[in-house]
Structure 1
Amino acid sequence: MARRSTSPRICEDCGTKVSGKYRRRRCENCYRAVLRREKGIPTAKERRANYNPKSYLFGSTVAGPDGCVIFTGPSRGRGYGALQGADGRRVSAHRLAYELMVGPIPDGMDIDHQCHNRSLTCEGGPMCRHRRCVNPFHLEPATPKENTRRAAARPASRVGRYRSDRGNASCRNGHERTEENVIWEKRLSAPGGRVRRCRQCLKNQQASARKLRRQAA
């Protein structure tokens, strides 16, 4: 029976002492790097050096409704597309598209999706398809206040529904808005990220749903 060598195993590439797998006289990381080179797979450093934000941005799109160009890459919070910019920082896809195709964005300005403002059916929110649109002809700088005002003015806007009864002493069904009768719910598409709901209206809706289920049973 052959005796195993007791000499220390040293990686030929990085020179570190190997205590785990030892293949082709290399440590695991260096061995995997050799396999990637043999298969022609670029390393992370090579990918960073050859990264082109514009090519990646518009190479990861599909045609959408209303003439939109929908970015199919990663997304950040609230449904907006996101990718790595030329400086290595993570940026919104629609803002980068405007900067690349139109010009710099003025300080303190949002980029408003005109395709969303024209839509009569999209209610907005994180599932809004227009938030991933990177068509530069659909993008326009606007102040945050003006951006919110345009969204609230749309017929199908959730923002408009949330704001229409702000400051009223009662809900739309006439129930008084007391501290005990108000429920705050999280809504990403609403101003401040939450909305008021009438507790009594919610109870009535739940009772109606239970009644319909009993009738259908």
Structure 2
Amino acid sequence: MSDVAERIRELSTTIPETSCIWWIGSNHSTGYGGVWLNGKVRGAHRVVYELEHGPIPDGFVVRHKCDNRKCINPDHLELGTHRDNANDCINRGRHHLASRTHCPSGHEFNEENTIPYKGARVCRTCKQEANRRSYIKKLKLGKMRRKSSRS
């Protein structure tokens, strides 16, 4: 076993209820474990992934299937893009905005009033109001002509 693998084994413990292997060494302020390797601190989950599967390709991140930042169980780790990781956060209800039921103006986020946009939710009522204000402003500035209504 390599020195790094031995150090990782010594600084981790298994949680039987979840089968997670928790990193009990030093942690980043973000909650991820940190391993000193080749002169810099690297994410413990990333180091474990590379020991098991080889290098992480450019543009990919190591995602936790178990949603536990301290977990370094190779079976709980998978590759994905930053977008995949962000979508996991939203779909699993971990995003700080995911639990909001209303927009800042007080309109309910429901099926009829919600527009999915780039992984986020936009209030349809507020969007229509913003479009109306923009149209009126452009009319006043002479940048648009009023649409004629032909019967």
Letter in structure 2 aligned against 1:141: L
Q: Which residue of 2 aligns with 1:145?
A: 83
Tell me the distance in 1 between the aligned counterparts of 2:65 and 2:101.
26
Matched, 1:134 2:72: yes
Tell me the distance in 1 between the aligned counterparts of 2:106 and 2:69.
31
Tell me the distance in 2 between the aligned counterparts of 1:57 and 1:143.
25
| Structure with the higher strand share, 1 or 2 | 2
Tell me the distance in 1 between the aligned counterparts of 2:99 and 2:25.
35
Q: Which residue of 2 aligns with 1:5?
A: none
Deviations along 1:137-188, whole A, 9 cap, x unmatched?
100011011111012101xx230x5056599451368xxxxxxxxxxxxxxx
Aligned partners of 1:111 and 1:140 also within 8 Å: yes
TM-score by length of 1: 0.44
Tell me the distance in 2 between the aligned counterparts of 1:67 and 1:164.
28
Letter in structure 1 aligned against 2:71: C
What percentage of residue pairs aligned between the two structures are identical? Answer: 31
Larger Rg: 1
TM-score by length of 2: 0.62
Tell me the distance in 2 between the aligned counterparts of 1:88 and 1:133.
23
Q: Which residue of 2 aligns with 1:171?
A: 106
Aligned length: 106
SS at match of 1:69: strand
Give me the CA root mean square deviation. Answer: 2.4
Matched, 1:76 2:31: no
Aligned partners of 1:165 and 1:171 also within 8 Å: no
Aligned partners of 1:53 and 1:84 also within 8 Å: no
Tell me the distance in 2 between the aligned counterparts of 1:115 and 1:138.
6
Q: Which runs of 5+ in 2 are unaligned?
A: 109-151
Tell me the distance in 1 between the aligned counterparts of 2:55 and 2:102.
39
2:53 to 81, 95, 102: 102
Tell me the distance in 2 between the aligned counterparts of 1:67 and 1:111.
18
Matched, 1:59 2:1: no
User: Residues 166 and 141 of structure 1: is their aligned pair in 2 closer, same or farther, counting only changes over 3 Å?
Assistant: farther
| Structure with the higher helix share, 1 or 2 | 1
Aligned partners of 1:80 and 1:131 also within 8 Å: yes
Deviations along 1:13-46, whole A, 9 cap, x unmatched?
xxxxxxxxxxxxxxxxxxxxxxxxxxxxxxxxxx
Deviation at 1:97, TM superposition (A): 0.4
Letter in structure 2 aligned against 1:158: R
Matched, 1:162 2:97: yes
